[in-house]
Amino acid sequence: MLHWDAAAMMPAGGAAARAEQLAALRVITHQHLTAPEIGDLVAQAESESDALDEWQRANLREMRRRQVHAAALPCELVEAESRACSECEAMWRNARAQNEFSAVLSLLERLLRLEREIAATKAEHLGSSPYEALLDQYEPGGSVAIIDRLFDELARFLPDLLEAVLTRQAALPSPAAPSGPFPIELQRQVGMHLMERIGFNFGHGRLDVSAHPFCGGTPDDVRITTRYDESDFARALMGVLHETGHALYQRGLPAEWRLQPVGRARGMAVHESQSLLLEMQVCRSRAFLTFAAPILREAFAGDGLGWEPDTLYRRQIRVQRGPIRVDADEVTYPAHVILRYRLERAMIAGDLAPADLPGAWAEGLRDLLGIAPPNDREGCLQDIHWYDGVWGYFPTYTLGALIAAQLFEAVREAIPDVLEAIARGEFAPLLGWLREHVHSKGSLLSTAELVESTTGRPLGTASFKRHLHDRYLA
């Protein structure tokens, strides 16, 4: 909640005090997790695990994982990282607004030194590589070998698929654009209306504005933020719907285990699968836009071809090479993630200095998409993650996209008329399936076990490839 407040409500002058508050809470939490009696109690429980049911055993497993992560670090390092994150993130906001990477460079260098120290220390305790030790914080049990295999498969078929999509798209007339401007208050109202229709309960959440859209809070008080553009309502709307997928997952976690580790979200790959399933698989579908077009037209008093369902659909699946990850279509999005994955691995390994990040970013984007960012604001300053101490997170976005495609295939097999229901504005069948098969599982299963038990096969790229072909080339 303190993070949400800092992003959405806190005056700029409160940054130093907020850094102190967050550092204090992190130190207290760390002290509890690393107290000698905690390790003894966990060990005793592990020796008696035969008497536990599957939820209790999974809860104990998650307790041990969190305790190992915490025990690896001295309290002083936890406090130093917390302060460095708060200071760097606050400076990033100014640097991004001013398009001045040099303004945040020294703070990023300090933070990276701490992250590398944390990675090395945790790797010894976890028996993993330093990068995987950071990855495990967001994707428990995540493996570089698996990520590399999946990302290599994507890299083999996506370039040709992108060229085929762009060629086909160029042969068609450009879809008409709805006429603006689109007042922010109207955008907020229509976003909230669609959130409610899909299943979000505003008795347990809010929608606000921040520099970088996110979903946070707690299962009973979910906070979503977005950013608005009066010339294009779809950017904020799709961002809101993306974060609504996160929020629905958060709200659907098992209530009986809500205050226990096993009651938490499995990891960020599953979390991202829920946001991308809603945004990409559902809300950019022809079925959803058939339902949403009349609502959008009425909200903005629209008229003309640009408000027709088919036109809105074609605009929402428009593919183009662009520098901004959060605005990228689903065909080019994996390239943005692969770029960040490569860069953060290089920085953690010590093979890339932060001072060289802008150049490496531009070179990597040219290699992957054939374009370069026009400036650092649209390049290495566009994402908050590294400047807020979030290293090892980026792969979960594309892992989430792969999981989302595989899950939605399973949904369509289980509920053959799910798209027809969506076109009528009926989302209960979809949400009910997700609640039963994903949300209510919390951290009972590993990501691999959850995917295989729900879809009948291990995570792969085939469903994602079929989805892209069916939507863009069929």
Q: Which of 87, 243, 308, 409 is catalytic?
A: 243
> Would you state the pLDDT for residue 269?
98
pLDDT tens digits for range 387-406: 999 999 999 999 999 999 99
Whether the CB-CB separation of 116 and 371 falls below 8 Å is answered with no
| Number of helical H runs and strand E runs in the chain | 20, 3
Average pLDDT over residues 28-54: 94
In the DSSP assignment, the letter for residue 415 is: S
The proportion of the chain whose per-residue pLDDT surpasses 90, expressed as a percent, equals 96
The pLDDT of 350-359, averaged and rounded, is 98
Longest dimension (CA), the chain: 69
CA distances from 154 to 11, 78, 122, 249, 460 (A): 43, 37, 30, 27, 10
Q: Is the pLDDT of residue 25 over 90?
A: yes
Alpha carbon distances (Å) from 3 to 69, 216, 255, 311: 21, 8, 23, 39
Q: What is the mean pLDDT of residues 188-217?
A: 95
User: Which tens digit of pLDDT belongs to each residue from 13-23?
Assistant: 998 999 899 98
Supply the CATH classification number for the domain 144-472: 1.10.1370.30
Looking at every residue in the chain, the average pLDDT score rounds to 96
Picking from 211-215, 218-222, 304-308, 318-322, which range would have the lowest pLDDT averaged per residue?
211-215
Distance, in Å, from the CA atom of 467 to the CA atom of 474, rounded to the nearest integer, reads: 10
User: Is pLDDT of 447 > 90?
Assistant: yes
Measured CA to CA, the distance from residue 401 to residue 395 in angstroms comes to: 10
Roughly how many angstroms between the first and final C-alpha of the chain, as a whole number? 45
CA dihedral (466, 469, 471, 474) in degrees, to 10, reads -120
- How confident is the model at residue 285, as a pLDDT? 97
Q: Which residue has the tokens 């994996």?
A: 334
Single out the residue of 343, 348, 346 nearest to residue 325, CA to CA. 343
Q: Is the pLDDT of residue 211 over 90?
A: no
User: Does the pLDDT at position 363 exceed 90?
Assistant: yes
Task: Assess contact for 443 and 62: CB atoms under 8 A.
Answer: yes
The yes-or-no answer on residue 117 being catalytic is: no
pLDDT value of residue 182: 97
CATH 1.10.1370.30 maps onto the chain at 144-472
SS3 call for 215: strand
pLDDT band at 42 (very low <50, low <70, confident <90, very high): very high
pLDDT reading at 163 higher than 90: yes
Segment 246-277, tens digit of pLDDT:
999 999 999 999 989 999 999 999 999 999 99
For residue 170, pLDDT over 90 is answered with: yes
Q: Are 383 and 131 in contact (CB under 8 A)?
A: no
- Reported as a pLDDT band with limits 50, 70 and 90, residue 125 is very high
pLDDT at 325 over 90: yes
- Render pLDDT for 345-354 as a digit per residue (tens, 0 to 9): 999 999 999 9
Give me the long-range contacts of 100-109 (CB less than 8 A, separation at least 24).
Answer: 100/376, 101/357, 101/358, 101/376, 101/380, 101/381, 104/381, 104/387, 105/354, 105/355, 107/387, 108/354, 108/386, 108/387, 109/353, 109/354, 109/355
